[in-house]
């Protein structure tokens, strides 16, 4: 996860909510099969969009406060934050094209 920043309850506000621009947070757990399915996709996108999108991952098992705070009930969940607020989400193991479609939708207004 070299281009994906590991965040915790303690670092979430500073790394995600106070970031200017687009941040995609992957809520995952080690026991979650679908999480393991999308992890390589998230890592690839993080490498491809370096400098444009910040990617972070939060271990759901050890960071329950953040899970509860944002109402995350299923794993994997990707939350898209734009300038510190949630603007979109993707739940479940979805194809790369669906995640990338959401990325582009939120990058386009920022580029205008």
Selecting among 7, 16, 35, 53, the annotated active-site residue is 35
Q: In the block, which residue shows the tokens 């690839």?
A: 44
**Has 68 been annotated as catalytic?**
no
**Has 9 been annotated as catalytic?**
no
Q: In the block, which residue shows the tokens 């995952």?
A: 28
Cα dihedral across residues 87, 52, 93, 97: positive or negative:
positive
Give the pairing type, strands 77-82 and 85-91: antiparallel
Active site residues per annotation: 32, 35
């Amino acid at each position: 996860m070299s281009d994906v920043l590991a965040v915790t309850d303690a670092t979430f506000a500073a790394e995600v909510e106070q970031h200017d621009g687009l941040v995609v947070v992957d809520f995952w757990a080690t026991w979650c099969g679908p999480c393991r399915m999308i992890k390589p996709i998230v890592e690839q996108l993080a490498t491809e969009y370096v400098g444009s999108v910040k990617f972070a991952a939060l271990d759901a098992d050890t960071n329950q406060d953040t899970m509860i705070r944002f109402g995350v009930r299923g794993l994997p969940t990707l939350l898209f934050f734009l300038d510190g607020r949630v603007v979109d989400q993707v739940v479940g193991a979805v194809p790369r094209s669906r995640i990338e479609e959401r990325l582009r939708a939120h990058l386009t207004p920022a580029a205008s």
